[in-house]
């Protein structure tokens, strides 16, 4: 099944039923074909609301989680966004529809190369993808209006908090184990950071260093 009108309608209905209600986010997810980011055996399941395996032992998150995380960021059209964990590139592509500029980093060179190809195919010229240790963010491009982390850390990483603008928002999965993780929204204020717990989630762990691929 391609991402035709019927598939899009079912896809958006499923997102709404899971709590993705922001129309700008839904429109972005309607425009970006998730099927382009999944290769091989699992491609036929691209429009189901489930995580799927990709290369380098990583996963592409289920669409409803992508939608909820994106919605929680409250992105404005002038915002500069950092994504930590490019993976397939799907999340960055969604962000590119909402933000002025998206910087995305991943520790796996192979994933970044594959994601860049899809960005080029879709002519998403406002995304810059790097191979780097995302736990340190991108100090050269900081500060950021929004930061999205797509791997679970024990605590919101200090270097990323430091790269958030005052008034900026970071959404990050936090947890000590695979079993217990929570999606946290961190807002930087004049005096420090405010934390909101959003929902339970399951993500691969945030790992330091570059991947061996």
Query: Which residues are identified as catalytic?
Result: 61
Strand order in the sheet with 127-131: 127-131, 101-106, 80-84, 144-149, 164-174, 181-188, 193-201
Q: Residue 61: which of 24, 92, 31, 40 has the closest Cα?
A: 92
- Whether 133 contacts 71, CB under 8 Å: no
Vertex 108, ends 102 and 109: CA angle to 5°? 80
Give how far Cα 191 sits from Cα of 114, 151, 166, Å.
Answer: 41, 27, 9
Q: What distance in Å separates the CA atoms of residue 37 and residue 42, rounded to the nearest whole number?
A: 11
Give how far Cα 164 sits from Cα of 98, 110, 151, 159, 190, Å.
Answer: 18, 28, 18, 9, 12
* Three-class SS of 127-157: EEEEECCHHHCCCCCCCEEEEEECCEECCCC
């Amino acid at each position: 099944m391609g991402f035709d009108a019927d598939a899009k309608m079912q896809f958006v209905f499923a997102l709404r039923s899971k709590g993705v209600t922001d129309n700008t986010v839904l429109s972005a997810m309607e425009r970006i074909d998730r099927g382009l980011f999944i290769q091989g055996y699992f491609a036929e399941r691209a429009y189901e609301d489930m995580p799927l395996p990709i290369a380098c032992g990583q996963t592409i998150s289920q669409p409803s989680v992508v939608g909820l995380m994106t919605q929680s960021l409250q992105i404005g059209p002038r915002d500069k966004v950092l994504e930590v964990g490019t993976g397939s590139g799907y999340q960055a592509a969604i962000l590119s529809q909402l933000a002025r500029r998206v910087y995305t980093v991943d520790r796996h060179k192979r994933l970044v190369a594959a994601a860049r190809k899809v960005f080029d195919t879709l002519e998403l010229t406002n995304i810059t993808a790097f191979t780097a240790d995302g736990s340190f963010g991108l100090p050269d491009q900081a500060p950021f209006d929004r930061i999205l982390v797509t791997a679970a850390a024990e605590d919101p990483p200090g270097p990323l908090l430091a790269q958030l603008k005052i008034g900026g928002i970071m959404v990050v999965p936090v947890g000590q184990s695979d079993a217990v993780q929570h999606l946290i929204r961190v807002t930087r204020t004049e005096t420090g950071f405010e934390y909101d717990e959003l929902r339970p989630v399951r993500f691969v762990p945030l790992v330091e260093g570059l991947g061996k691929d």
